[in-house]
Structure 1
Amino acid sequence: MIYQAKQGQVNYGFTIGILMLDTNVPRIPGDVGNATTYPYPVIYRTLKNVTAKRIAVKDDTILPEIMEKGRELVQNGAKAITADCGFLQFYQRELRDALNVPVFLSSLLQLPFLFLMLDKSEDIGIITADSTLLDRNLLSKIGLDEPHRVQIAGLQNSSYFYEAFVAESGTLNEDGIRQEVVGLAVNMVKENPQIKAVLLECSFLPTYSKAVQEAVQLPVFDYRTMIDYVQHSYRRGNINGFL
């Protein structure tokens, strides 16, 4: 077999490119920012001086940095681009137009699929870092036309989650955060029995998806389910079965 180099590309062997916020957080397995989360290689770029606070207020001055790092990922072989913060969805259209490759910046993009999967009388429970920031404006960006079927719970009043991911203390108590996330999920489903699926919106939360799934006994979706979905659409494995 003969291989041909792509001019300007020095990295090979991956499909998914991930844009990372400039944070001081331990990225443990399960986190979007930990490469061992995936059974396939991914490539990262850090958005210099781009923080969750700047994104939440829709700071358009960060757009050039997002564009530049997105182009670097594509230049280095990424076939599709995601990120580690759902609020980057505000810049989805601009980045998609600039890069001309598939872009899927928020785990919320799975919502239309979940709505179609469930009955009209059933709801989706969303767990997010801060429910005061996940407003209808962001949901409208993904074409959500049934907002009444979404129940949102936030971790803004937590202790361990807040310390690690909002205050960015540099320390992460995995057991403490797991208890907070699971407790929030259980209470949300108990208070809203019409919830028949859960979406962990924040990119820090896939680490705790299994624990949530076991606690509420419902299908649980997160950033990892979305990224896996796109990866498998590009790179299918062999089927080794028998009849």
Structure 2
Amino acid sequence: MPIYKTRPNAESYGHDIGILLIDCRTPFIPGDVGNASTYAYPVLFRTVPDVTLERLIEQGDLTLTDKVIETARALEDAGVTAITSDCGYMMHFQEQVAAAVKIPVMLSSLLQLPFIASLLGPDQAVGIVCANKRRLTPELLEKAYPAARLPVHVTGLEHCPNFRAPILDETDTLDSDAIEAEVVGAALDLCAAHPAIGAILLECSNLPPYAAAVQKATGRPVFDFVTMTDYVRAAGRRRAYIGNY
């Protein structure tokens, strides 16, 4: 048997991915980044104090950086192999957190943009469905996709009432069927307006539950927080191949 030693600051063991949660009160349904049943491996959640929707999305408050770093370091100390978050707008802190820890950091689903673009032909484009289009600024996109190879077309859900109420306004009730219809409708409208779209990225961490419906309706591959997290987790927990030859 191996010899094990206590890890300082660890309260429990065996977690693969650490997830930074913003300080909000949204129902996290199965498939959501904030729901542990979404994953086929153990995850560890930590809420970042004071990182609210208002301060992060509406204000882009970079004075929160130290609190994000402190919480990320606590996850690293707990033994996770990589760190993600539950908001695409955490892209604001990607570089700072990556520099502060020694494990992979993927705070935003937007980090997949260069990879998605590399999969597509030169005449295609990438479509993004996000929580709030106004706050997905060119500057924020530039952080994730600095040398844009293909055009990016964005649509937001901030005017969709069934999405906005529980996700942006933090009411206590979520109608997943109604939200799915809004998300699928937004994706279809985006593809109709920009037929060159060859793949879709769902920015918001609350949108993975609807990815299958979007993929079926649009016929495009759909990427989100979960595709990113699964990919990085697989790289950090490789398995040996043993079988007949």
The normalised TM-score by structure 2 is: 0.94
Residue 23 of structure 2 corresponds to 22
Residue 173 of structure 1 corresponds to 175
In 1, Cα distance between equivalents of 2:50 and 2:92: 17
Q: Structure 2: give runs of 5+ residues left out of the alignment.
A: none
**Equivalent position amino acid for 1:116 in 2:** S
**More deviation, 233-242/71-80:** 233-242
Residue 134 of structure 2 corresponds to 132
In 2, Cα distance between equivalents of 1:155 and 1:147: 25
Per-residue Cα deviation, 1:148-193 (whole angstroms, up to 9, x for no partner) = 6101000011010001101100110101000000011111111211
Residue 36 of structure 2 corresponds to 35
State the 1:54 CA deviation: 0.8
In 1, Cα distance between equivalents of 2:244 and 2:213: 33
State the 1:200 CA deviation: 0.5
In 2, Cα distance between equivalents of 1:47 and 1:147: 34
In 1, Cα distance between equivalents of 2:201 and 2:207: 10
In 1, Cα distance between equivalents of 2:3 and 2:207: 39
In 2, Cα distance between equivalents of 1:41 and 1:190: 39
- Matches of residues 133-148 of structure 1 in structure 2 within 5 Å? 133-146=135-148
The normalised TM-score by structure 1 is: 0.95
- 1:12 and 1:76 in contact (8 A); partners too: yes
- 2:162 and 2:179 in contact (8 A); partners too: yes
Cα 1:179/1:238, change in 2 over 3 Å: farther
Query: RMSD across aligned C-alpha pairs, in angstroms?
Result: 1.6
**What is the aligned counterpart of 1:110 among 109, 112, 130?**
112
Residue 7 of structure 2 corresponds to 7
- 2:62 and 2:92 in contact (8 A); partners too: no
The question of 1:94 aligning with 2:96 is answered yes
Residue 185 of structure 2 corresponds to 183
- 1:123 and 1:194 in contact (8 A); partners too: yes
- 1:11 and 1:77 in contact (8 A); partners too: no
- 1:52 and 1:85 in contact (8 A); partners too: no
Cα 1:152/1:161, change in 2 over 3 Å: same
**Equivalent position amino acid for 1:31 in 2:** D
Residue 51 of structure 1 corresponds to 52
Cα 1:147/1:55, change in 2 over 3 Å: farther
Identity of aligned residues (%): 42
Cα 1:125/1:143, change in 2 over 3 Å: closer
**What is the aligned counterpart of 1:78 among 68, 77, 80?**
80
Q: Give the aligned length.
A: 243
- 1:20 and 1:84 in contact (8 A); partners too: yes
State the 1:68 CA deviation: 1.6
State the 1:73 CA deviation: 0.5
In 1, Cα distance between equivalents of 2:157 and 2:242: 43
In 1, Cα distance between equivalents of 2:31 and 2:65: 28
Q: Structure 1: give runs of 5+ residues left out of the alignment.
A: none
